[in-house]
Amino acid sequence: MVRRMATGFDSLALSPALQAVVAELGYESLTPIQEQGIPVLLAGKDLVGQSKTGSGKTAAFALPVLQTLNLEDRTLQAVVLCPTRELCGQVAREFRKLGRRHPGLAVLTVSGGEPGRPQSEALARGVHVVVGTPGRVLDHLGRGTLRLGTVRSLVLDEADRMLDMGFEEDMEKILAEMPKQRQTALFSATFPHSIHVMSGRYQKDPVRITIEDPAEDEGQIQQAVVIVSPEQKIDALASVLATHPHESALVFCNLKSSVRELARRLSDAGVVTEALHGDLEQFHRDRVMAMFRNQSIRVLVATDVAARGIDVADLELVVNFDLPHSPEVYVHRIGRTGRAGARGISVSLVTPGEKRKLRDVEHHVGASIERMKREPETAATLLERIARDAKMAMLQISGGRKDKVRPGDILGALTGEAGGLEASEVGKIEIHDRWSYVAVATDKGKHALRSLNAGKIKGRRFRATLIPPQRHS
Ligand code: ADP
Ligand code: MG
C-alpha cells in the first residue's frame, strides 16, 4: 500500500481532473506556498503570498482559478497581471498545461511587444482567463476591447516588481474597473511598505502567508558598534563599508555639514555616492531617492529628516556615522534594513564620549550590542576596494505622466528589437508628471541612452540623459 504524504495534492479539495493533471505532470508533493495557499483560495478568501522564486506560486493560484472557472460561459472570469511579457507567457503556459483536462479553456496573453489586433479579436470571441501586463490591459480597456465586469478573480503576480516598474497607476485604473465582489490574490517576493499599502487598498481581510527560506536567516538585523575617536571616524566608516559587501548602503549623520563633508570624501575616493539633506531642493531630493531606490548609487549619506520616506525593499547595510540623539531614532534608522526576511546589518560609530548614549540605546533595544574591531588600514586603501560602479545607471527621459508616457512604453523602447536590452537589464521605472526615470544595468547605460534618443516613445521623440552621480567638491 502506498502511504500518502500529508503534503500530497490529494489532501486538497481539488477536482478529480486537476488531481489527474498534477499526477500526469509528475508533481508529487505540494510546495509550501501551494500547500498553504490553495486551501485559502479555494475557500474564496483573499491572499497575500510571499515565497521565493521557483517555489511554485503559479500553480498555487492557477489551480484554484481553474477549479472555479465555468467553461460553458465564455466570458472573462479571471485576470492575472504580471510585470513583463515574458512572465505573462510563462504564466499562460502554466495555465494551459494545468488546464489540459479543461476542454474549451481559453487563456489569452495581453502584453505589449505583440500586435494588439489579434488580441482584440480573441477578446471579442471570448476568453476565460487573461494574463497581461498592466499597460496593455489598460490599452484594451481604453479601446473598449476588454471589459472587466464579469471578473471574479484577480491575481497580482510579482506585485513588488510591478510597483518597481511604475505600474501603480495603471493597476489602480484597472482595479477601478473590476467588480468589488471578487477574489484578489497578491504574490510578491519582497514586502516593502508599498506592498502593504497596495494590499490594504485592493484586498479584503487577506490571509497572509509567508514562506521563510530555511536556507536564509530570518529577517533580522545584526547590530554592531565600533568605538572610535572622532578623528578616526572616516577610517572606521571605510572599514565598515569595505568589510560588509553591499549593493547599497545608507549612512546617517546628525548634521547637514557632516553629510556634505562625508559625501565629498567618499566620492573623491571614487565611491558612487550621493548626499541627502534638507537644504537640497525637492526636485533634487526626489532624484537622489530615485537613484538610491534603483541602485544607481552605492552609498547614500543622509540626515534623518531627508531620509524620511525612503522605502527600499532590501537595504543591506545601515551605518550610523553619528550615533543619533535618541534611542527611538536609532531604532527607526536601523529598521530600514533587514526587511522582508532579508538579513540586514547596522553598524554604529560611537566615540568614547558617547558611551552613555550607547547604554541608553542598548537599554532601549533590550540587548547589548556587539563591539566590532576595525581594520587597521587607512580610509584611502579601504575605499579603493569598494570604489566601483553602482549596479545600475539611471536615465532621465523628458516625458512623463502629462505626456501619457507609461512604464510599458519605456520598457518597450528599451527592450526587443528597438532597444536591444533584456527585460532583466531594466530596473525600476518611475513616471513623474513631466519626466521619467529608468534604471538600466550599468554597462548598458550608454546603449540605452542611444536607443532612447534615436527612437520614439508613443510616436514622439523625447530626450534622454544619463544622470551621473553628483560631484561633491
Ligand atoms: P514561482 O512563481 O514561485 O517563481 P513557478 O510557479 O514559476 O515558481 O514554478 C517553478 C517551476 O516549478 C515550474 O516549472 C513549475 O511547473 C514547477 N512546479 C510547480 N509546482 C510544482 C510541484 N508541486 N512539484 C514539482 N514541480 C512544480
Ligand atoms: Mg512566478
CA angle 77, 408, 135 (to 5 degrees): 25
**52 CB less than 6 Å from ligand 1?**
no
Based on the fold, state whether residues 256 and 380 are members of the same structural domain: yes
**53 CB less than 6 Å from ligand 1?**
yes
Based on the fold, state whether residues 340 and 424 are members of the same structural domain: no
* Residuewise pLDDT in 10s, the chain (473 residues): 333 344 678 878 899 999 999 999 988 888 999 999 999 999 999 999 998 878 899 999 999 999 999 999 999 999 999 998 889 999 999 999 999 999 999 999 999 878 889 999 999 999 999 999 999 999 999 999 999 999 999 999 999 889 888 899 999 999 999 999 999 999 987 777 788 889 999 999 999 998 876 544 444 778 999 999 999 999 999 999 988 877 789 999 999 999 999 999 999 888 999 999 988 888 888 899 889 988 899 899 999 877 776 666 567 899 999 999 888 889 888 877 765 556 688 999 999 999 999 999 998 888 889 898 877 777 788 888 777 778 899 999 999 989 999 888 999 899 988 889 998 899 999 889 899 999 999 999 999 999 999 989 988 999 999 998 766 65
The rounded distance, in Å, linking the Cα atoms of 63 and 80 is 13
Note down the domain range covering 131: 9-210
Number of other residues whose CB lies within 10 A of the CB of residue 285: 18
Residue 441, domain CATH: 3.30.70.330
Q: Dihedral sign, CA of 311, 428, 197, 189? A: negative
Query: Which grid cell is 193?
Result: 511598505
Q: What is the pLDDT of residue 77?
A: 98
Eight-class DSSP state of 388: S
Among all bound ligands, the one having the nearest atom to the CA of 28 is: 1
**57 CB less than 6 Å from ligand 1?**
yes
Residue 174, domain CATH: 3.40.50.300
Based on the fold, state whether residues 292 and 202 are members of the same structural domain: no
The rounded distance, in Å, linking the Cα atoms of 272 and 194 is 27
From ligand 1's centre to the CA of 155, what distance in Å? Answer: 17
Based on the fold, state whether residues 111 and 256 are members of the same structural domain: no
4 is a domain residue:
no
Based on the fold, state whether residues 432 and 329 are members of the same structural domain: no
Last residue of a domain, one of 326, 355, 386: 386
Among all bound ligands, the one having the nearest atom to the CA of 157 is: 2
Number of other residues whose CB lies within 10 A of the CB of residue 435: 22
Based on the fold, state whether residues 293 and 442 are members of the same structural domain: no
Residue in this structure with the C-alpha cell 485604473, named with its chain if needed: 173
Last residue of a domain, one of 351, 386, 421: 386
Number of other residues whose CB lies within 10 A of the CB of residue 262: 22
Last residue of a domain, one of 338, 369, 386: 386
Based on the fold, state whether residues 382 and 398 are members of the same structural domain: no
Based on the fold, state whether residues 232 and 376 are members of the same structural domain: yes
Based on the fold, state whether residues 104 and 232 are members of the same structural domain: no
Contact between 348 and 323 under an 8 Å Cβ cutoff? The reply is yes
Can you point out the beta strands (E) in 297-413? 299-302, 317-320, 344-350, 370-371, 392-397
223 is a domain residue:
yes
Query: Which grid cell is 345?
Result: 546589518
From ligand 1's centre to the CA of 60, what distance in Å? Answer: 9
From 10, 14, 58, give the residue whose CB has the most ligand 1 atoms within 8 Å, as the site to mutate: 58
CA angle 247, 336, 380 (to 5 degrees): 45
**309 CB less than 6 Å from ligand 1?**
no
Q: What is the pLDDT of residue 379?
A: 78
Please count the structural domains in the chain. 3
Rg (CA), the chain: 25
Residue at 293: amino acid letter = R
